Structure 1
Amino acid sequence: MDRTEAAEDRSRYRESDAAHLPVEAYSDAIPDHGNAGYFARFEQMLREEFEVGQTILWLPVSMALGAGLWFSSDETLAILPVAILFAAVVLLLFLKDEGRWRGAFVLAAGFLVGMLASEAEVRRHGTTLLDSEITTRLEGRVINRDVDHAGRWRYTVEIERTFDPQIGRPPERVRLVARGGHTPIDIGGRISGLARLQPPSGPVLPGGFDFSFHSYFNGLGGYGFFYGAPEAIESDGVDETGWALGFQLGVSRLRAAISTRIRSVLPGDTGGFASALTVADRRGLSPDTVDALRASGLAHVLAISGLHMALVAVTFFLLLRTAFSLFPSVVQAYPVKKIAAAGALVVATFYLFLSGGSVSTQRAWIMLAIMLVAVLADRPALTMRNVALAAIVIILISPSAVLGPGFQMSFAATAALIAVYSFWRRSTQYATGGIAVPGVLRMIVFFFAGLAVTSLVAGLATGPFAVYNFHRIAAYGLLANLAAMPIVTVIVMPMGLASMLAMPFGLEYWPLLAMGAGLDVVMWIAHTVESLGGYVVVGRVSFGMFLVLTGGFLLFVLGRSKLRLIGLAVAACAAVAMVVFAGEDPDILVAEDGRLVALVSEGALAANRSRPSTFVFEQWQHALRRPDTLRPTSSGHEADARGPPELLSGFLRVSAESPGFSCAKKQFCVGKTEAGTVVAVVEDLHFLGPACDSADLVVTHRAIALDRCYSGAMLVTGRMLRQTGSLELVERDGALLVKSAIGQTNRPWTRQRFYDWRSRTYKRTKPSWLAD
């Protein structure tokens, strides 16, 4: 067989239905002309991957890598060379329609597209992030509002002006909690009040989740609360909202009205749970219930994702087809399956807007829309190519989602489930052969078997991503999902859809009661499973090992040649290595505001505060696998008449005799690491000089201009931390090595850290202890 005939055979194969078969069937059809050796066989497998038409599956992977590189860069990369290189690659693709390197060129183009889409998204948002904490009076328009389980209202406000004092770089939108009792201000109304604003926080640890990054792309420039009750501003009768903002306000009002009607029927956590599933309003759930859902592995039920979209669309699809089946003449005259698919798409689109249109919901809608359009086009609805197309669309629209755990876990679960069910469908067809199985029994068996397989596969696929992002996994997640998901599938979501369809007619009471009964059972399951055992804290893992595991996983689920077995082995080995080889832990941790410092001991974290910030401290404990807390001791010397040097020396003697920090309230804390490094945390600047003379590391949250201790001790100030973010310090060979969460990264979501409000300029200063 010459090359021309082989190329024609491959072309005919790609165009045939046989392209959906495993690649072994194809590789057996094309003989191997004596390729010998390991590298020759490896090259053969790579050629088979591309010849079967697998490039489309790897295209979103290359786009995600391009987006990840673009966002992880410390400085904004030049866009012009990327655009020129992309044009050159596209030209080569047009010039070479065939060839062994065509797949590589396609993936290279996808990589560059990911970078270009990332820069476009950065420029499209242009969110102004608040640069420092401030108390000011503000006026603005309420874009959205919700209420928590304790009756506190949270407003998303589009700022119109600030005064007393005026902010030099005011954010466009902020989210504020109103603690005082007041009459809720309507969505679209104008609001005024004295507010405490703070910028979005950075990672609590280097390499951790960056809240300022996601706030930038969510359009939120600051967070805070009102002092007292905010006031409503009377409208001047002039409505300057455009059509886009008007549409957004209309959807927000509809969501608020639906949430209110749900809670009028279902009070407490039940109503909050139902609101979360219908309009994505999760603030109505109490912290205890949220913790139980997370610890039991059922927190994914709260997030409107592919599961909810699929259940809503499939329920409506089946209801519509069942209704059509009552009229045989209609079934014979019209394509009722396509009509039902179109109706399901309309319902899913309405659900998208109703849920607020978050990134995770957009991702679920795109995947579902592609599958329903495939039904309209008489194509297979659930295939790996449809998942790849959904990922491509999402990366083109919002490439920043690639760095979020929602994107990673959603597509990991979907790809793994399709790969497993594809194998399962073939194996069950072969296993049953011509044996007749009763329809009802077959349905029941396959429902529960499918549920068990779905929970197991989804848990295994998302587990590594959960460990990397959250440093923990639910101990009994499989048990909780097996018990709760049949209720969510059969009762909760269908009754939720029925209540939404009945609500315009005022008939939602009974469907909501049925939905609430199902949710009560789900919450009971969550609390029961939580009592058996909560999280398994794994700790943080190496980013490099996580990339290796991800690569092996993708090769396993996307591959069609024997390379997928290599991918499975690589993923398994990397998963074991992630847990066994945890890497080097730091000896000292410093929060980005400088108020919280922790010493890392063998089994605990010693904090300088008796009540450390739960938000930061629990993440430190999970990441470093230190469940215990050593609280500071106080000997009551804060009223001592001795001077700062003598008083601090006395505390140094106390800290040398006991683990953890020894503190004088509102003055200073002194502690010593297991390696002997003396750490002083100073609040009262009268003690700064003696601390520099006595300690090896001095930390103060005060934004002072001093940049070093003249005694040679390392000095960390609030001004430095504002630019560097949180710190990890490791003792090595008598020196302290520092790793910073932000470093000198200068991107739109970190640039506010370098803003000097006095001179209204951007100034980057690098501390002497910060390594390159």
Structure 2
Amino acid sequence: MPGTDDRQDDDGRGWPPDASTRPPGLLPRLARSLTDALEAETDRWILWLPVFFAGGIALYFALPTEPQARLAVAFVLGALGIFIFVRVSPAGAALGLALMALSMGFGAAKLRTELVRAPVLQAELRHVSVQGYVETFERRSDARDRLTIRVVSIGSLTRAEAPERVRVTISGKDTAVAPGEAVSLRATLNPPPEPVAPGDFDFGRRAWFQQLGGIGYATGRVSHLDGAPEPPLSLRLWAGVDRLRDAVGARIRAALPGEDGAIAVALITGERGGIPKHVTEAMRDAGLAHVLAISGLHMVIMAGSVFWLVRALLAAVPALALRYPIKKWAAATALLAATFYLVLSGAAVPTVRAYLMMSIVMVAILLDRPAITMRNVALAALAILTFSPESMFDPSFQMSFAAVIGLVAAYEALSARERLSTVETSALWRRLRWTAALVMGAGLTTLIAGTAVAPFAVYHFHRMTHFGIAANMIVAPLISLLIMPMALLSLIAMPFGLEAWPLQAMGYGIELMVGTAAWVASWPGAVTVLPDLSGWSLALIALGGLWLCLWRTRLRALGLVIAGLGLALAPPGNRPDVLIERDGKTAAIRGEGGLIFPSATAASYSVEKWLLADGDDTDPKVLPPTTPFRCDPIGCVGKVNGKTVALIRESGAIAEDCRRADIVIAPFKLGKACKAPRVIVDRAALSAQGAHALYIEGLSIRTETVADHRGRRPWSRHARSPATDLRKASER
């Protein structure tokens, strides 16, 4: 009939086929596969709670302005309401819990910020009187010891204006003070330093959470303060711990002087200030820097040795071994030993993480539960982030958890494969397999841990070591079988005055370790200095690694895709064409081979960090004596991308440079005498906005400042002003 279509398909049905009979498209099939894979991993969903909790913390710190407390409360209440509404299905409950964890992380970060709120110096105080209690006394190898002082008074500042604590550098080795002692001194104090470039490491934020409101140096002798009131209870308790640490350190240095003693002190008490710089650099370049920071390796050896020793001694008494749970007794004793080691070592973030992991293992033994699981790692991470959300940005937190997560995931995968193997073998073959597994396991452990921490090492330190496996294969037996067991034995022997001989044996192991580090670090190509890695790139690589490690089915393969995307974003994009230090005295322009500095530029922290962020390992102390800058006693002039940059050092250069230059930089205020340049970065701009980075994009010049990146947060004293916004808008 006209107007009808009586075509038939092959099986006799009408045309077109019914939509319900069509095969699903590619995207629906992928979505269904992903959903099925997620449902198969329901027992692993709980592992993602710390990840979403950390996401909430990251969201809080990413905000350009400080959120009000009611926003955090509203976030938590909203997430709770959504969870109650959607929890009727497993997928809905998982989504609701994820949102709850996100909101709780955001709220924990806000709460922590308010709990530690304390005054911060806003300007330099010169030769001011400081009175307070010594919290920590750090001995350093460069004869510049450091005091952290709980403040009682600073000059004429009121109690509401004075910081909670300050850190003061003291020159010389004749200072004798003890933690908890009331002291008085004169010092020059400054606010905590700002980042040396937009987006760089923010020491001011770290100082805020340490309630450290001033940094400076002593300008007079430290003297005992008579008649001071009794310090707070918390300070008295920690002062007692610090005095114990100092006493242990003194005994170690007496029995083992020199750099070996300094390393022994670091491994036992956590005090690393006495380690010479060349040793630290050799250990770092050999991929052994983790050895000097008390972390999982040290805690496992210490607690594990106590566990093995106590259990062996109890097993030697049949009456006890046959009637009582000696394994649990050994676990309880090892837990007490780990607690003592945590306190003695100063309870740094890596040590706390290692202690939490070790305590969970020992408690699991006491409760007859599996000891090493990914859930234990998740619990440890959640505990640290709950009480110290800011530690998420600490390199030690990131690197230690990255290594542990990678190792536990590998352990789980290998254990599953081992359970699948049911082939019976002879006793000789089993011994050979055990020996091969021991050797290969050491190498595999180093490879996994090194790979896991590599992105974080590049992001924070701009360095990648290439022979860490070789160095760790040599040093790991020394640490496990000689250095740390002798450290434990020296602590046991110390109350009896017998620590000298185990410390001597520990010293031999340390000499071999340092020698190995220096040897490996001297190999050609041992270290590669890499440029800045973007935060988004690191986040994607970390997310890909978590995806790969936390799932167990084929779903984990998508982690490689996510990490690959992060690596694709890793190469640096648009780098600054001009960098200006926060005091205006130093600047750099970009040349074909990297950053170029004016002649006679002094080595400084800013110069060192700029070079490293640019992937340049040039020593700031040996910068090239000649550069494309044209300099005279009153200033320097250079060119970058067709724009003239003038660095004014004396007022005599103002008239000429302001007339000819496109960009003018000065460490003093220029005022109305300089109007012609398109961009003016003088003392007024630097005081208000911090260090500057300029990008020349065709005919325009874009400015980024430290204040732009820090935003209006409690730890940032800079705030963007309308005048600054107007000036930036007028830049052509």
* Alpha-carbon shift at residue 431 of structure 1 (Å): 5.2
Q: Is the 8 A contact 2:395 2:460 kept in 1?
A: yes
Name the SS of the counterpart of 1:108 in structure 2.
helix
Aligned pair count reads 702
Report Cα offsets for 1:223-257 as digits up to 9, x if no partner: 222124x2312422x64222211101111111111
Residues 1:598 and 1:629: Cα distance change in structure 2 (over 3 Å): farther
CA distance, structure 1, for counterparts of residue 254 and residue 585 of structure 2: 43
Of residues 293-302 and 620-629 in structure 1, the stretch that sits farther from structure 2 once superposed is 620-629
Q: Residue 639 of structure 2 aligns with which residue?
A: 672
Residue equivalent to 2:470: 479
- 1:158 is paired with a residue of what secondary structure? strand
Deviation string, structure 1 residues 55-87 (Cα, Å, up to 9, x no partner): 211111111111011012110123324323423
- Secondary structure (helix, strand or coil) at the match of 1:122 reads helix
Shift of 1:188: 1.9
CA change 1:633–1:364 in 2 (3 A) is closer
TM-score for the superposition, normalised by structure 1: 0.85
From 546, 550, 560, the equivalent of 1:558 is 550
Tell whether 2:677 aligns with 1:712. Answer: yes
Structure 2: how far apart are the matches of 1:167 and 1:234? 18
Q: Helix, strand or coil: the match of 1:221?
A: strand
Residues 188-220 of structure 1, C-alpha deviations (whole Å, 9 max, x = no match): 222222322222222223222211111111222
Contact 1:202/1:725, CA 8 A, preserved across alignment? yes
Question: Structure 1 residues 173 and 625 mapped into 2: Cα distance closer, same or farther (>3 Å)?
Answer: same
Confirm or deny: 8 A CA contact 2:693 2:704 kept in the other structure.
Answer: yes
State the alpha-carbon separation in 2 of the partners of residues 167 and 721 from structure 1: 29
Decide whether the 8 Å contact of 2:204 with 2:716 is kept in 1: no
Stretch of structure 1 that moved more, 484-493 or 102-111: 484-493
C-alpha displacement at 1:633, in angstroms?
9.3
* 1:609 to partner: Cα distance: 5.6
Structure 2: give runs of 5+ residues left out of the alignment. 1-22
Aligned residue in 2 for 1:661: 629
Q: CA offsets, 1:19-50, max 9 Å, x none?
A: xxxxxxxxxxxxxxx98744344344335435
In the superposition, relative to structure 1, how do residues 232 and 453 fare at CA in structure 2: closer, same or farther (>3 Å)? same
Alpha-carbon distance in 2 for matches of 1:122, 1:43: 42
Matched-pair contact (CA < 8 Å) for 1:603–1:628: no
Correspondence for 2:101 among 86, 110, 128 = 110
Match of residue 361 from structure 2: 371
Is residue 546–residue 578 contact of structure 1 (8 Å, CA) maintained in 2?
no
Task: Quote how far apart the aligned CAs of 1:598 are.
Answer: 0.9
Q: Distance in 2 between matches of 1:528 and 1:321?
A: 39
Rounded Cα–Cα distance in structure 2 between residues aligned with 1:705 and 1:173: 36
Matched, 1:695 2:661: yes
Residues 39 and 556 (structure 1), Cα distance of their counterparts in 2 relative to 1, 3 Å cut? farther
1:100 to 70, 77, 91: 91
- Report the equivalent of 2:331: 341
Quick one: distance in 1 between partners of 2:262 and 2:722? 45
Q: Secondary structure at the match of 2:707?
A: coil
Q: TM-score, normalization: structure 2?
A: 0.90
Task: Give the residue type in structure 2 aligned to 1:486.
Answer: P
| Partner residue, 1:7 | none
Q: CA deviation at 1:454?
A: 0.7
CA–CA separation in structure 1 for the residues paired with 2:673 and 2:521:
49
1-structure distance, mates of 2:679, 2:98: 48
Taking the aligned partners of 2:527 and 2:608, their CA distance within structure 1 comes to: 13
Distance 1:432 1:619 in 2: 56
Secondary structure of the structure 1 residue equivalent to 2:306: helix
Residue correspondence of structure 1 range 323-472 to structure 2 within 5 A = 323-430=313-420, 433-438=423-428, 444-472=435-463
CA distance in 1, matches of 2:355, 2:594: 44
Deviations 1:297-342, CA, capped at 9 Å, x for gaps: 1111111112221221111111111111111221222111111111
Question: Equivalents in 1 of 2:672, 2:295: separation in Å?
Answer: 48
SS in 1 for 2:501: helix
The CA deviation string for residues 583-619 of structure 1, in whole angstroms up to 9 with x for no partner, is 1222111122222211121223222362533422222
Instruction: Say whether residues 1:131 and 2:131 are aligned partners.
Output: no
Q: Per the alignment, do residues 322 and 741 of structure 1 end up closer, same or farther by CA in structure 2, a change over 3 Å counting? A: same
Query: 2:514: which partner in 1?
Result: 523
Report the alpha carbon displacement of residue 467 of structure 1 after superposing the two structures with TM. Answer: 1.5
Structure 1 runs not aligned, ≥5 long = 1-33, 635-657, 755-761
Q: Is the 8 A contact 2:654 2:674 kept in 1?
A: no
How far, CA to CA, are the matches of 1:269 and 1:123 in structure 2? 42
Which amino acid letter does the alignment assign opposite residue 386 of structure 2? L
Alpha-carbon distance between aligned partners in 2 of 1:489 and 1:55, rounded to the nearest angstrom: 35
> Could you tell me which amino acid in structure 1 is paired with residue 700 of structure 2?
A
Mean Cα deviation higher: 705-714 or 603-612:
705-714
Give me the identity figure in percent.
Answer: 32
Structure 2 distance, partners of 1:332, 1:74, is 64
CA contact (8 A) 1:681 1:699 kept: yes
SS of residue in 2 equivalent to 1:77: coil
Partner of 1:610: 600
Equivalent residues of 2:538, 2:566 under 8 A apart: yes
Q: What CA distance in whole angstroms lies between the structure 1 residues aligned with 2:271 and 2:349?
A: 15
The answer to whether the 8 Å contact 2:168/2:217 transfers is: yes
How far is 1:281 from its partner?
Answer: 0.8
Cα gap change, 1:441 to 1:500, in 2 (>3 Å): farther
Q: Is the 8 A contact 2:664 2:677 kept in 1?
A: no
Secondary structure at 1:463 match in 2: helix
- Please name the residue that 1:766 is paired with: 724
Distance 2:190 2:66 in 1: 25
Letter in 1 for 2:613: A
**1:299 equivalent among 273, 286, 289:** 289
Asked if 2 retains the 8 angstrom alpha-carbon contact of 1:67 and 1:117, the reply is yes
Q: Bigger shift: 200-209 or 322-331?
A: 200-209
Give 1:696 shift: 1.4
Q: Distance in 1 between matches of 2:205 and 2:485?
A: 36
Q: Tell me whether 1:727 sits opposite 2:692 in the alignment.
A: yes
Match of 1:176 in 2: 168
CA deviation after TM superposition for structure 1 residue 582, in Å: 2.4
- In the alignment, the residues of structure 2 paired with residue 424 and residue 241 of structure 1 have an alpha-carbon distance, to the nearest angstrom, of 53
Contact 1:659 1:672 in 2 (8 A): no
Residues of 2 paired with 1:92 and 1:165: CA distance? Answer: 49
Counterparts of residues 564-579 of structure 1 (less than 5 Å)? 564-575=556-567, 577-579=568-570
Shift of 1:145: 0.5
Which residue in 1 is equivalent to 2:647?
Answer: 681
What is the deviation of 1:512? 0.9
Shift of 1:692: 1.5
1:594 matched residue in structure 2 = 584
Higher deviation after alignment, 741-750 or 472-481: 741-750
CA distance in 2, matches of 1:467, 1:316: 36
1:444 is displaced (CA, Å) by 4.0
Alignment-derived partner of residue 315 in structure 1: 305
Q: Aligned partner of 1:49: which letter?
A: L
Paired residue secondary structure (2:200): coil
Is the 8 Å Cα contact of residues 680 and 699 (structure 1) preserved in structure 2? yes
User: Aligned partners of 1:746, 1:707: CA distance in 2, in Å?
Assistant: 28
Distance, in Å, in 1 between the alignment partners of 2:723 and 2:238 is 41
Q: Measure, in 2, the Cα distance between the counterparts of 1:546 and 1:540.
A: 10
CA distance in 2 between partners of 1:744 and 1:464 (Å): 22
Measure the CA separation in 2 of the matches of 1:63 and 1:617: 36
- Paired letter, 2:110: E
Matched residue, 1:4: none
1:222–1:440 Cα change, 3 Å = farther
The C-alpha deviation readout for 1:262-312, integer Å capped at 9, x for no partner, is 111111111111111111111111111111111111111111112221221
- Rounded to whole Å, the distance in 2 between the matches of 1:189 and 1:138 is 14
Residue type matched to 1:585 in 2?
R
Give the Å deviation of 1:544: 2.4
Residue identity opposite 1:174 in structure 2: V
| Cα pair distance change 1:683/1:318, threshold 3 Å | same
In the alignment, the residues of structure 2 paired with residue 277 and residue 352 of structure 1 have an alpha-carbon distance, to the nearest angstrom, of: 12
8 Å Cα contact 2:255-2:503 kept in structure 1: yes
Q: Would the alpha carbon gap of residues 440 and 281 (structure 1) be closer, same or farther in structure 2, given more than 3 Å must change?
A: farther
Pair 1:287 & 2:277 matched? yes
